[in-house]
Amino acid sequence: MLPPTSVTEYLVARYFGTLSSLFHILHGPTFQNQFLAFLQEPEKVSLSWLALLFAIISLTLKTIEASDAGLVVLWQETSFPRDLSILSQKYRNAAMMALSQDQFLVRHEISTLEALLILVHMISHNEGPEYGWALLGSATNIAIALKCHMDGPVPNCLERQRRRRCWAGILITHTYQALCFRDIDLTFLVNMKATMPAWVNDSDITEQSIIEPPPQLPNRLTDMTLIKFQVRLFELSTQICSHISSNDKLNQTLLYRYDTAVSKEQVEWDAIYLVNGGRSILNTAGYAHWCTLQTYAHQLYLLLHRPFHSSRSSQFRAESREKCIKSGLALLDIHHQFFELPRLKCYRWLVKGAISCNALHGAVALTSCMLDMPDDSDMTEHISAIDAAVVRMEALKMKSPACSNVYRVLRCLRSYLSRREPTQTIMTEDLETRFEDWANNVDWFNPDAIDWAYWDTNYTTPQTDGNQTILT
């Protein structure tokens, strides 16, 4: 079932070398000891831990190419399909099968929770966050059953940290869910006053103690820095989503308060991850983390300023429209960087899911703002950003359901914008108003909720596309 030992070891090493830092819920040295024990006596491993191993292999296979040198030995065996998507799905299914055989719904341990969280993380970033909702619910209830949110009796310091990391993983995975399902109140998770894990490196944690950072270095960069920022973002996004669903969503005092809170987080990210305001050439992972955090920030800005961005509204604020334009462009630029920047190649798999959905959010917001601008406005930069996104999504459209849907909408957005250009026929005011109504009410975070019939009725897009390089 597993790949040859050398390939399995390579995939695990690659996971901990490049991928785990994006979702650092596993304690590396602990997993290493478990893996070495598994190699010595595979029959003694628990099914839940085997599910975790399958999940790690599945995710890693999603992020590499079939020509990767580490897979040469694998292709010498004819029993393994050469299509990495099929192979990754095989191990994802194996992870779920191992959990099922272990009766994870009624019998669970910390490895059960770790496996589920890795699976949810993979689904969210490869298919879209809404596809992991049900599995995340199971993980949350298992975490509560294991009392990961409480400081109950545990064997040692290390096991306590593993539980706390899983609870932090539960919270940050809910951040995208909070944005996708904004009418669902997630404050119950915020109100569960759990102790967060230590923001230290894996090597600082032993069974007996934790080596805390010296007082003069309270904000040093560690293995857990990204999760620390993401937990704070979960708390902030939950507050903001609750706010925009309330009767106070037009309260400009609260708008300023939350806008300032997001901006304050960005300042801290810049201080940790950037060098003199620019990306570090010595810390590629750190720059990927910074980009990931920025996607949260700009989505929150769009949610906050959306009610104020249209001049047709009595609540119009020109500053809010500019904020939406800036954040829309930023989300498209982040998508561009993950797709094209050579140094971020090992993180390119992120564009198959959530990052592309974020780009759609930015494109729709940007389009809505352009509709509201005077006819003589220079929109060259904005239209060029959407054109470039269409080209990227054409290359990605066969990679996931999320990319397919995002590509479809982006093509229609561009078709619509072309009708506003001087060389094109001016559209009727009725059609323009209908589009603005759609743009103002569409769920920017959830492509599945888009009214496809609206697009099919009003727009015709080309049926064939030019050749594009398809990324793995």
- 237 and 287 in a single domain? The answer is no
Question: Is pLDDT at 194 greater than 80 in this prediction?
Answer: yes
- 189 and 272 in a single domain? The answer is no
- Phi-psi bin for 11: left (phi > 0), alpha (psi -120 to 50), beta? alpha
In a domain, 251, yes or no: no
**How many Cβ atoms are within 10 Å of 211's Cβ, its own excluded?**
12
- 289 and 423 in a single domain? The answer is yes
Question: Is pLDDT at 466 greater than 60 in this prediction?
Answer: no
Record the pTM: 0.89
Report the share of the chain in percent with pLDDT over 70.
87
pLDDT of residue 425: 44
Average pLDDT, the chain: 87
In a domain, 253, yes or no: no
**How many Cβ atoms are within 10 Å of 271's Cβ, its own excluded?**
9
**What average pLDDT does the segment 241-267 reach?**
93
CB 356 within 8 Å of CB 396: yes
Question: Is pLDDT at 461 greater than 80 in this prediction?
Answer: no
pLDDT of residue 421: 58
CB 454 within 8 Å of CB 461: no
**Higher model confidence: residue 270 or residue 127?**
270
pLDDT of residue 402: 82
What is the span of the domain harbouring residue 143? 1-246
In a domain, 425, yes or no: yes
Question: Is pLDDT at 457 greater than 60 in this prediction?
Answer: no
In a domain, 255, yes or no: no
- 451 and 417 in a single domain? The answer is yes
- 304 and 203 in a single domain? The answer is no
- 121 and 270 in a single domain? The answer is no
- 156 and 81 in a single domain? The answer is yes
- 353 and 417 in a single domain? The answer is yes
In angstroms, rounded to a whole number, what is the distance separating the alpha carbons of residues 217 and 359?
A: 36
In angstroms, rounded to a whole number, what is the distance separating the alpha carbons of residues 321 and 309?
A: 4
- Phi-psi bin for 468: left (phi > 0), alpha (psi -120 to 50), beta? beta
Which pair of tokens denotes residue 73?
A: 């030995």
Rounded (10°) CA dihedral 431, 432, 433, 436 = 120
Question: Is pLDDT at 180 greater than 80 in this prediction?
Answer: no
- 335 and 381 in a single domain? The answer is yes
**What average pLDDT does the segment 259-283 reach?**
94
Nearest Cα to Cα of residue 370 among 411, 421, 334: 421
Highest mean pLDDT among 126-135, 195-204, 362-371: 195-204
Question: What is the total residue count of the chain?
Answer: 472
pLDDT of residue 419: 61
Report the share of the chain in percent with pLDDT over 90.
61
pLDDT of residue 334: 97
- 237 and 337 in a single domain? The answer is no
Question: Is pLDDT at 418 greater than 80 in this prediction?
Answer: no
In a domain, 405, yes or no: yes
- 217 and 287 in a single domain? The answer is no
pLDDT of residue 469: 42
pLDDT of residue 463: 43
pLDDT tens digits, 291-323: 999 999 999 999 999 899 888 888 999 999 999
**Higher model confidence: residue 251 or residue 426?**
251
Counted domains in the chain: 2
In angstroms, rounded to a whole number, what is the distance separating the alpha carbons of residues 417 and 384?
A: 11
pLDDT band with cut points at 50, 70 and 90 for residue 440: low
**What average pLDDT does the segment 395-418 reach?**
85
Residue with tokens 């064939």: 464
Question: Is pLDDT at 57 greater than 70 in this prediction?
Answer: yes
Question: Is pLDDT at 217 greater than 70 in this prediction?
Answer: no
In a domain, 259, yes or no: no
pLDDT of residue 376: 77
pLDDT band with cut points at 50, 70 and 90 for residue 59: very high
In angstroms, rounded to a whole number, what is the distance separating the alpha carbons of residues 469 and 472?
A: 10
In a domain, 132, yes or no: yes
**Higher model confidence: residue 153 or residue 333?**
333
**Which DSSP helix (H) or strand (E) runs through 403?**
helix 401-418
List all residues 6 or more positions away from 293 whose beta carbon is below 8 Å from its beta carbon.
Answer: 226, 229, 230, 233, 265, 266, 269
In angstroms, rounded to a whole number, what is the distance separating the alpha carbons of residues 228 and 356?
A: 24
pLDDT band with cut points at 50, 70 and 90 for residue 450: low
- 311 and 432 in a single domain? The answer is yes
Q: Half-sphere exposure of residue 275, counting CA atoms within 13 Å on the CB side?
A: 8
pLDDT band with cut points at 50, 70 and 90 for residue 206: very high
Give bridge partners of residue 279 from the DSSP assignment.
274
